[in-house]
Amino acid sequence: MRGMSKVVLGVVLAGSVVAGAGVSAGAVGAEADLAHHGHVSLWDGRVGVWLVSENHGPSDLPQATVRLAFSEPMAGGHELPEACLWSSDRVVSCRTGELRAAGSVGELALDLRTAGLPDELTVEITTAWRDGAADRNPGNDRHRVLVLATGDPYVF
């Protein structure tokens, strides 16, 4: 059953990205200001990501998808939270869940391993889909973070 839920999640996320190119019937005229904040750490070939997604409104958002793209390939075989799936060996896509206006959603935490032992990597965090809602302030949901292999948290 767990494998089936990953397949269903994959279909939902893949459909979300494709559907995001247009406007869904439920979101016509909707506007949501998504923001992603958190930190990323790299040490001994491990990558830790802590992420919070928020909607500053004015409309509630039933669902969104955040994309984390790494400059280095990740080692396979790592479990992701149920809301996430591997898009490739360098990309993880995660559902945010419902984002009420002027509210936040629970934390997303990832514990990954790189395929090698890089001295640094770059992580790009972006909203891949927002259920057709407009976002007039996209700067706060797009980040590019250079992370050195020091174990320090690099905040975005």
pLDDT one-digit tens code per residue, 47-97: 999 999 999 999 999 999 999 999 999 998 778 999 999 999 999 999 999
What the block records as the tokens of 59 is 């409309």
Q: Are 31 and 133 a contacting pair, CB within 8 Å?
A: yes
**What pLDDT is stored for residue 28 in this prediction?**
59
Which are the contacts of 37, defined by CB distance < 8 A and separation ≥ 6? 51, 52, 54, 155, 156
Q: Which amino acid is at 14?
A: A
Intra-chain end-to-end CA distance of the chain, in Å: 36
Per-residue confidence band for 147, with pLDDT thresholds at 50, 70 and 90: very high
